[in-house]
Amino acid sequence: NIQEVEAGVQHILADIFAKDKDTLDFIRKLCQQRYISIQSTLAKVSSKNGNEKDIDKFQLYHEFSCNIKNIQHHQILAINRGENLKILTVKVNIPDGVKNEFCWWCVNERWRPKQFLKPEFMRILRSSVEDAYKRLIYPLLCREFRSKLTSDAEKESVMMFGRNLRQLLLTSPVRGRALMGVDPGYKHGCKLAIISPTSQILHTDVVYLHSGQGFREAEKIKRLLLQHNCSTVVIGNGTACRETEAYFADLIMKKYFAPLDVVYCIVSEAGASIYSVSPEASKEMPDLDPNLRSAVSIARRVQDPLAELVKIEPKHIGVGMYQHDVSQTLLKATLDSVVEECVSFVGVDINICSEILLRHIAGLNANRAKNIIEWREKNGPFINREQLKEVKGLGPKTFQQCAGFIRFNQEYIKTFCSNKKNELGSCALLTKAGALGKKKSKLTPCASQQPNPLDQTCIHPESYNIAMRFLSLVGGNANDIGKSDMQTKVNAVVQKEGLEGTAKRLNTTVHTLQLIIDGLTQPEGYDIRTDFDKPDFKRSIVCFEDLSVGAVLTGKVENATPFGVFVDIGVGKSGLIPARNITEAKLSKVKKRRSLGLGPGERVEVKVLNVDIPRLRITLDLIRVL
């Protein structure tokens, strides 16, 4: 009938209008000039059937409206999560004025035929334009706005996660001491692991501190600490953390562990349980119960954060913002890049590092890392960087990429070579099979088996020639690397001729020369991370109820987001420094110069602005960065 034909024509015209480029460009430009808002309300279904705890988390968004030009990235991610959980209903509001102006433009300018049209045709045209807007264009615009806002928010989230992860991975290691890792728990007890200064597992155990046996277990803990001369306890921040912290703080206050001066610190155990049941953990600690592996991981996170945290998938480390809601492809690519950058930045000791750590060196992958470990197990330790070329799959290009990030402990290598020399009467090394007498081994030329002191530095093999010429220029030799005399000699030449003059004399660039100077003057075993913040060690505990407005405390940054920074002030609940309270004047000169904000691991002095006991929320003001 006529009505059906008219409806069909209307749908065909609406489809043409909605796909026309000029029409869509006009409506998009129109929207840019108007107030478009995004609105969220509590969903009717969730208010009836929802979990009260989950609903309360989104209290800010129960009646929320904001201009899409002003809305913050974290607000978009929060709204999206609430919508996915069916707690919130979200819609984009486009003013009626936009629709009216758009329809007038379409009918009178864009789609009006030049010849005269009968009134019934004009009526169909108007109906088609309104139908196109309501049924096709308006939903399209809403999807575009939501998609753009979500995309921008995800990029910001990934960027923030990358920055936080970088700072966390570069946390200063705690070297030269035995550590006790504690994975707290109630029913199944607290898992203990004591590791040596070289990360070897010395002892593992389970103690039941929160089931009326605390006093009896204290004797066992004291005996273990004294037996292994361990005065540092690392407690995971998971279930029963607060009670475990109070337990150790009470014993320390009573000087129960005397003559040991025991201190403790709280460390994030995010990802530890996932890692403890992974194939990598099974391969690394095959004879250890998965529950005890997590205690080992917690201790190692303080001893060498980088080496331990690279074993865990970055998104499980827990220093991001809605990282489980964003594009996992984008997140993985960004975070893998950050891990590779940090590992390469610090460098790895080729003779003691794990296969997982090697994978993240620039130029290496899982297969090449595996080949390096196999070569090391078969032939003994690497003596110099040149030996990397003997590893299967490491061609000239790969060597060029990875060589500068590989380090060698010269004392260990000298001891190894000395022992071999005593055994064989020369510095030539035998393969493992040859040493066992199973078959003849080929003796490699003595020169290729000599340790090179430059291998302990950040200087790339391509620059060794320039480095040796520079050593001749300053009157030093390779054995002086890292000693105070070398610093004096280098300073004398640089002050006399200047960096640019010295670089021209050596026919190199200022940047390369500076890298060579850094490599030659840095102490043996220098670690760039020593300049970063160490964990916050404590002897006593503060309760949430003890906090008062105006109190000045010190704490450690746990996480940074666009809306503020979360700080652990030792009360079992992190406080928030809102972004508005983090002014440039309060940051250090280095951060001002690099345009950086606060990040995980940094120590800060804060003032308590507000304590919301029912909701367990603390608002802080930043006084200064320590």
Instruction: Give whole-number Cα distances, 576 to 297, 585, 606, in Å.
Output: 28, 19, 10
149 in helix, strand or coil? Answer: helix
Mean pLDDT of 367-388: 89
221-247, pLDDT tens digit by residue? 999 999 999 999 999 988 888 888 888
3-state SS class at 559: strand
CA dist 338 → 320, 402, 553 (Å): 13, 16, 32
**Would you place residue 448 in the very low, low, confident or very high pLDDT band (cuts 50, 70, 90)?**
low
403-419: average pLDDT: 76
pLDDT number for residue 423 = 58
Looking at residue 222, its pLDDT comes to 93
CATH of domain 544-625: 2.40.50.140
Higher per-residue confidence, 555 vs 235: 235
CB-based contacts of 449, cutoff 8 Å, min separation 6: 383, 384, 417, 427, 428, 429
Question: What is the number of residues in the chain?
Answer: 626
Q: What are phi and psi of 513, to 5 degrees?
A: -65, -40
Each residue of 58-92: pLDDT tens digit? 888 989 999 999 999 999 999 999 999 888 999 99
Cα-based torsion angle of the residue sequence 334, 336, 339, 340 in order, rounded to the nearest 10 degrees: -110
Report for 143-147, 250-254, 256-260, 581-585: range of highest mean pLDDT? 143-147
pLDDT of 428 higher than 70: no
Does 159 score more than 80 pLDDT?
yes
Each residue's pLDDT tens digit, 90-131: 999 999 999 899 989 888 888 877 776 678 888 888 889 888
d(CA 201, CA 443): 37
CB of 486 closer than 8 Å to CB of 521: yes
Beta-bridged to residue 565, according to DSSP, are 560, 577
Confidence band (pLDDT; 50, 70, 90) for 201?
very high
Confidence of residue 447 (pLDDT cuts 50, 70, 90): very low
8 Å CB contact between 194 and 202:
yes
Alpha helix (H) residue ranges in 58-211: 73-84, 96-105, 119-131, 138-169
Interval 336-346 mean pLDDT: 85
List the domain boundaries for the chain. Answer: 2-157, 179-342, 544-625
Confidence of residue 136 (pLDDT cuts 50, 70, 90): very high
Asked if CATH classification 3.40.50.1970 holds for the domain at 2-157, the reply, yes or no, is no
Instruction: State which fold the 179-342 domain adopts.
Output: Nucleotidyltransferase; domain 5 (3.30.420)
Distance in angstroms (rounded) separating the CA atoms of residues 513 and 524 = 19
263-267 and 232-236 strand pairing: parallel
Q: Is 465 exposed, middle or buried (0-12, 13-18, 19+ CB in 10 A)?
A: exposed
Q: Which two tokens stand for residue 610?
A: 């507000």
Query: Two tokens at 575?
Result: 């406080």
For the segment 453-478, the average pLDDT, to the nearest whole number, is 87
pTM: 0.77
